[in-house]
A and B are shown apart, each in its own frame.
Chain A
Amino acid sequence: MGNIIYKCLTCGGDLQFSAETQNWQCKYCDDVFTLEQLNEAGRNSVDEQKIDKHVELEGDKNQYQSTDGTVGKDLVQYRCSHCGAEIITDRATAATICVYCSNPIIMTEQVIGDFSPEYVVPFKIDKSKVMDSFKAFSKKPLTPKDFDCEKVVDKIQGVYIPFWLYSGTLTGSIRADGITKSSYTRGDYRITESRHHDVFRDGFLSFEKVPVDASNKTDDAAMDSIEPYNFEEMVPFNVGYLAGYLAERYDVDKDTCLKRADERIVNTGKDELLKTCQYDDIELKSYNHELDIQKAEYALMPTWLLYTKYKDKDYFFAMNGQTGKFIGNLPVDYLKLVLYSGVPSILLFIILLFIL
Chain B
Amino acid sequence: MLNSIYFALITNATMMSGDNTFAALGISIVAGIAIAVSLLAQSRTKVKATKADKYISARLKLTGRFDNYTHTTTTKTKINK
- Evaluate contact between A349 and B62: CB separation under 8 angstroms: no
- Evaluate contact between A340 and B35: CB separation under 8 angstroms: yes
* CB-CB nearest in chain A for B74: A193
* CB-CB nearest in chain B for A223: B49
Q: Identify which of B42, B45, B69 gathers the most chain A CB atoms within 10 Å of its CB.
A: B45
- Evaluate contact between B31 and A328: CB separation under 8 angstroms: no
* CB-CB nearest in chain B for A138: B43
- Evaluate contact between A267 and B51: CB separation under 8 angstroms: yes
Please give the distance in Å from A267's CB to the nearest CB on chain B.
5
- Evaluate contact between A221 and B47: CB separation under 8 angstroms: yes
Residues of B within 8 A of A199 (CB): 66-67
- Evaluate contact between A141 and B27: CB separation under 8 angstroms: no
Q: Using a CB-CB cutoff of 8 Å, which residues 233-277 of chain A contact chain B?
A: 261, 263-265, 267-268, 271-273, 275-277
- Evaluate contact between A195 and B72: CB separation under 8 angstroms: yes
- Evaluate contact between B13 and A264: CB separation under 8 angstroms: no
A11 in contact (CB, < 8 A): no
- Evaluate contact between B2 and A342: CB separation under 8 angstroms: yes
A208 in contact (CB, < 8 A): yes
- Evaluate contact between B44 and A329: CB separation under 8 angstroms: yes
- Evaluate contact between B73 and A208: CB separation under 8 angstroms: no
Residues of B within 8 A of A277 (CB): 67
* CB-CB nearest in chain A for B73: A194
- Evaluate contact between A341 and B32: CB separation under 8 angstroms: yes
A interface secondary structure, majority: mixed
Task: Name which of A32-40, A47-55, A115-123, A330-338 contacts chain B.
Answer: A330-338
Residues of A within 8 A of B60 (CB): 203-205, 272-273, 275-276
Residues of A within 8 A of B66 (CB): 198-200
- Evaluate contact between B77 and A192: CB separation under 8 angstroms: yes
- Evaluate contact between A205 and B58: CB separation under 8 angstroms: yes
Q: How many residues of chain A are within 8 Å of chain B by beta carbon?
A: 76
- Evaluate contact between A268 and B35: CB separation under 8 angstroms: no
Per the bound structure, the CA–CA distance linking A192 and B64 in Å amounts to 31
Please give the distance in Å from A185's CB to the nearest CB on chain B.
7
- Evaluate contact between A353 and B21: CB separation under 8 angstroms: yes
Given B2, B53, B70, which contacts A196 in the complex, CB threshold below 8 Å? B70
Residues of A within 8 A of B46 (CB): 219, 221-222, 225, 327-329
Per the bound structure, the CA–CA distance linking A196 and B74 in Å amounts to 11
A188 in contact (CB, < 8 A): yes
- Evaluate contact between A192 and B75: CB separation under 8 angstroms: yes
* CB-CB nearest in chain A for B36: A341
Given A203-B62, A206-B57, also A327-B31 (CB < 8 A): no
- Evaluate contact between B58 and A206: CB separation under 8 angstroms: yes
Residues of B within 8 A of A337 (CB): 36, 39-40
- Evaluate contact between B65 and A276: CB separation under 8 angstroms: yes
A65 in contact (CB, < 8 A): no
Given A225-B45, A225-B46, A338-B2, also A265-B52 (CB < 8 A): yes
Beyond the given pairs A190-B76, A195-B72, A326-B45, 5 more chain A to chain B contacts, judged by CB atoms under 8 angstroms and listed by A's residue number, are A177-B70, A200-B67, A204-B60, A276-B65, A349-B10
List A residues at the B interface (Cβ < 8 Å): 140-143, 167, 173, 177-178, 185, 188-211, 219-222, 224-225, 227-228, 261, 263-265, 267-268, 271-273, 275-277, 326-332, 337-346, 348-350, 352-353, 356
9 A-B pairs with the lowest CB-CB distances in the bound complex, closest first:
A345-B32, A352-B24, A224-B49, A202-B64, A349-B28, A208-B57, A341-B36, A206-B58, A264-B52
- A selection of 18 A-B contacts at a CB cut-off of 8 Å is A188-B79, A192-B77, A200-B67, A202-B64, A204-B60, A204-B61, A204-B63, A225-B46, A264-B52, A267-B52, A268-B51, A271-B51, A272-B56, A345-B32, A348-B32, A349-B25, A352-B24, A356-B17
